Amino acid sequence: MQQVRRLLGAIGVALALALLYLLLWPVPIDPVAWAAPSDRGFVVPYDANDALDFARAFDITPHDGPEDIAAGIDGHLYSTSADGSILRYDGRGKVELFASTGGRPLGIEAMADGSLVVANAYLGLQRIDRHGTVETLLDADSGQPLPNANDLAIGSDGTIYFSEASSKFSAASHGGSYAASLLDIMEHGGHGRLIAFGPDQQTMRILLHGLNYANGVAISDDQSFLLIAETGAYRILKHWLSGPDAGATEVLLDNLPAFPDNINAGRNGRFWIGLIAPRNALLDRYSGKPLMRKVLQRFPAQLRPRAVPHSQLIAINADGEVLMNLHDASARFPAITGALETADTLYLSSLFGQQLPYVRKQDL
């Protein structure tokens, strides 16, 4: 009987310690209450299909995570990768190292002079000339390091519009851009910004702040507006640069069934958006309960909300109408972040994996 009492006492102590841990252990997030929109799931126009079953891929081993792709004026394609490399593709399967940036390059775009601009999550904005030489364009704001440059678009006048995903959870200090994104989305504290870096490469302006994980950025062909993916709020924003609504921002696409990532301007007024992973039911359920999100953060990493394999890409027009919805139900290429559209091919970027997927338009 005494042994039973000792056992029950030990169990009671263990349970009390576990409860104290779940309620009181320090965590890096300070969650903010918000009202997540009701998740409708993958219904029309986001319903599942097999459109990406025809996708093939270039092998980029030993590199990993071609998070964004740009078309150079030299006819080559260029992608970022997780090890800091910029890779060059000839379109026929040849892949070579073009430059080494260090850090974690995410977004990449080509300038009119043939150089490339990279948003590096660790190091800020970088420029790479035609010979692969890397220089820093912008790595600080008012003396403080840029903690999480994410994606960018370049205006015809040379202005670089880029997203700072989170000013609180820097990629360098929190285990990389993916780990930092999980913290920022769990907190929902509005630490993201949209920034304009002038063509003089001296001045910067904050266009938007208070965004929940600012991500993809694209500019319209007529230069009148930007589209911005607010990943943590499941929506796409439209920010007017000119016209009667210049300076105003509106919600273009709301209540997406998955987290939006990159946005790339395509052909004929299209914009391509990668839906990197389905929404998480726990995040939505406890969106208005900050304490419960703190408790969730104390769970082992494998039990916390995280990205699950998913392959989906949508195209929209300037009015937010979904023009195309492409899935791969088997998620052979998980975590599709976006796409570069050429005359005959869609090249798919991804957060993970040692392949650069592509699909011929004739197969869609």
What digits encode the pLDDT tens for the residues 242-280? 999 999 999 999 999 999 999 999 999 999 999 999 999
pLDDT reported for residue 26? 80
pLDDT at 13 exceeding the cut of 60: no
Q: How many helices (H) and strands (E) does the chain have?
A: 4, 26
pLDDT at 147 exceeding the cut of 90: no
What proportions of the chain, in percent to the nearest 5, are helix, strand and coil?
A: 15, 40, 45
Rounded mean pLDDT of 36-42? 97
Q: Is residue 19 classed exposed, middle or buried when 0-12, 13-18 and 19+ CB atoms within 10 A define those classes? A: exposed
pLDDT at 3 exceeding the cut of 80: no
Q: Given pLDDT bands bounded at 50, 70 and 90, which one contains residue 234?
A: very high
Domains, in order of start, for the chain: 42-363 (2.120.10.30)
Using DSSP's 3-state secondary structure scheme, residue 296 falls into helix
Q: Give 113's DSSP letter.
A: T
Cα-Cα end-to-end distance for the chain:
72
Order of strands across the sheet that contains 271-278 = 258-265, 271-278, 312-316, 322-327
Which range is least confidently modeled, 92-96, 269-273, 334-338? 92-96
Planar angle of CA 200, 205, 208, nearest 5 degrees? 145
Mean pLDDT for the chain overall: 92
Q: 334, 353 in Cβ contact below 8 A? A: yes
Cα separation, 269 vs 219, in Å, equals: 10
Q: Is residue 13 classed exposed, middle or buried when 0-12, 13-18 and 19+ CB atoms within 10 A define those classes? A: exposed
DSSP E strands in 220-291: the ranges are 225-230, 235-240, 249-253, 258-265, 271-278
pLDDT reported for residue 350? 96
Bigger pLDDT: 253 or 307? 253
